[in-house]
Amino acid sequence: MLGLYLHIPFCSAICNYCNFNRGLFDADLKARYVDALVVEIERAGRVRSEGAAVRSADTIYFGGGTPSLLEPSEVGRIIAACRDAFDVSGDAEVTLEANPESVDPRKLAALRNAGVNRLSFGVQSFRDTELRRLSRLHDAARARGAMGEARNAGFENISLDLMMWLPEQRVDEWLSNVDAAIACDPDHLSLYLLEVYPNAPLKDDMARARWSQAPDDDAATMYVTAMERLEAAGYEQYEISNVAKPGRQSRHNLKYWTDGEWFGFGCGAHGTIDGVRTKNVSGIADYIDCIVRGQAVTSDVRRMDADERLGDALFTGLRLVEGLDLDAVQNRYGVDVWRKYGAELARFLEAGVLRRDGRRLALTRSGMLLANEVMTVFV
């Protein structure tokens, strides 16, 4: 089954660390963008009316940017366009990323009525000092409030994003964030290490204020201890950065890690269908222009060769805690992973970075911190 990704690139303010494809909110631009997005989805659906097989989808994912800046009626219109263009299953997972300051009880109830059944809140921290350092617009009280309001609005599937290794953050402060998140009882959590990009305003803020990040060993402790604490609270880690209560893994994101297929709609969105990778034009205005002129919105269309598809499947599959099923890879790509890469992988096995159980190959928990090194073997 396909996933449908919809990029909503608007934000109320630009966070000092952000490296996503986004721009400042503008009500008129947003209205024109939603019109364009619906046209792009309809174009994909036109294939259907021309007699090609209807593609089935079981996930819709509004990512951003800040999708919760859309009006619920706009969200409903986009979901309806998806349902017209694709055979979207009745129990599809429909996720919307939301920032805590951009929702209230009325809006959450309307989003639920519009067909959203999973929320992913960008909380990042439950410590106000840290949120201010990241130039986020919400505080911890608003994050907790948004979680409670979402439950009251009928959302039974809620995820939180937290960021670790923040400027000046100590291990115990990070763990207090993890405890605060657990106290909110989300169904799913994503934990990311802060990456300070060379041109991020945060880099200048850190230099001016003489903020630093904790030593690498502390970052490793933050990661491993958080995972242990979450497991003790009933969450299962299923991917390097993601934990969930049983049955609450992100169905959409699993498509990225299990060699799945998805359409990407909106500016800068990526898609992968039938071994062809696409990328849309990044600029919001450029994207709208292409749609208005009846032109293609893709700026890059590339058929991946067999080696690239294999490398990609191995690279992403190894992110999963269950790791790679070597027999499944052999059946799909005709390659014996161990024969092809065994010599290079052996040193990671010896170092305890990888573990091999029969025909499964997976990263150990501490090995997850070195995932990038292992994955260079495949790409």
Residue 65 touching ligand SF4 (CB under 6 A): yes
Kindly state the tokens that stand for 5. 């990704």
Range in contact with ligand SF4 (rule: CB under 6 A) among 60-68, 69-77, 163-171, 334-342: 60-68
Looking from the CA of 335 toward its CB, the CA atoms found within 13 Å total 17
Range in contact with ligand SF4 (rule: CB under 6 A) among 58-66, 108-116, 193-201, 278-286: 58-66
Residue 120 touching ligand SF4 (CB under 6 A): no
CA distance linking residue 153 with residue 309, whole number of Å: 42
Residue 30 touching ligand SF4 (CB under 6 A): no
Residue 100 touching ligand SF4 (CB under 6 A): no
β strands within the chain, DSSP E: 2-8, 10-11, 23-24, 56-64, 87-98, 118-124, 158-164, 188-193, 236-239, 242-244, 262-265, 270-273, 276-280, 298-303, 324-325, 354-357, 360-363
CA distance linking residue 224 with residue 231, whole number of Å: 11
Burial class (CB in 10 A: 0-12, 13-18, 19+), 131: buried
Q: What is the pairing mode between strands 87-98 and 118-124? A: parallel
Nearest CB to ligand SF4, comparing residues 200 and 377: 200
Nearest CB to ligand SF4, comparing residues 37 and 92: 37
Residue 14 touching ligand SF4 (CB under 6 A): yes
Nearest CB to ligand SF4, comparing residues 196 and 321: 196
Range in contact with ligand SF4 (rule: CB under 6 A) among 15-23, 139-147, 233-241, 271-279: 15-23
- For residue 65, the minimal CB distance to ligand SF4 (Å) is 5
CA distance linking residue 246 with residue 218, whole number of Å: 29
Range in contact with ligand SF4 (rule: CB under 6 A) among 8-16, 196-204, 207-215, 255-263: 8-16
Residue 15 touching ligand SF4 (CB under 6 A): yes
Dihedral sign, CA of 21, 79, 189, 186?
positive
- For residue 67, the minimal CB distance to ligand SF4 (Å) is 10
Residue 99 touching ligand SF4 (CB under 6 A): yes
- For residue 199, the minimal CB distance to ligand SF4 (Å) is 14
DSSP H helices in 22-133:
27-49, 72-85, 105-114, 128-133
Among 66, 157, 253, 272, binds ligand SF4 (CB under 6 A): 66
Q: Which residues bind ligand SF4 (CB under 6 A)?
A: 11, 14-15, 18, 20, 22, 64-66, 99, 122
